[in-house]
Amino acid sequence: RDDLRSQDFTNANKEETMASFVEKMISPDYYKGMMNSTKTSLTNYYKPMVRAGSATPLWHMMIATSIMMYTASYVGVKGAKVQAHRQEQKLALAEYYEKHGHSGHH
């Protein structure tokens, strides 16, 4: 009987935790708080470097820009082209195997 009560409590606790997680994820205040926290962290990290004349913040900005541009390019253009090319290769290979047979060693 105690095992059933502890299971009920555990399940209720999981449901409550999940509900609070969902509420947090749809709340604009959650994202606002995360942005403020990130802004504070970045400021505390980079401000001394900028004042000292370090090149590190510049390198970090260049790397972040490159990552964002590559991702946007792949998602927007290259991804569809790559998938289309792979599909074309798959069809061509299937056609080749149909005409010439399929050997497991080649």
- The pLDDT, as a whole number, for residue 9 is 54
* H/E segment holding residue 8: helix 2-26
Residues 37, 39, 43, CA angle at the centre, nearest 5°? 120
Phi, psi of 69 (to 5 degrees): -65, -40
Average pLDDT, rounded, for the chain: 86
* H/E segment holding residue 89: helix 79-100
| Eight-class DSSP state of 74 | I
Q: How many residues does the chain have?
A: 106
Q: What is the pLDDT of residues 46-79, one digit of tens each?
A: 999 999 999 999 999 999 999 999 999 988 888 8
Determine which of 7-11, 79-83, 88-92 has the lowest per-residue pLDDT on average. 7-11
Q: What is the pLDDT of residues 8-21, one digit of tens each?
A: 556 667 777 777 88
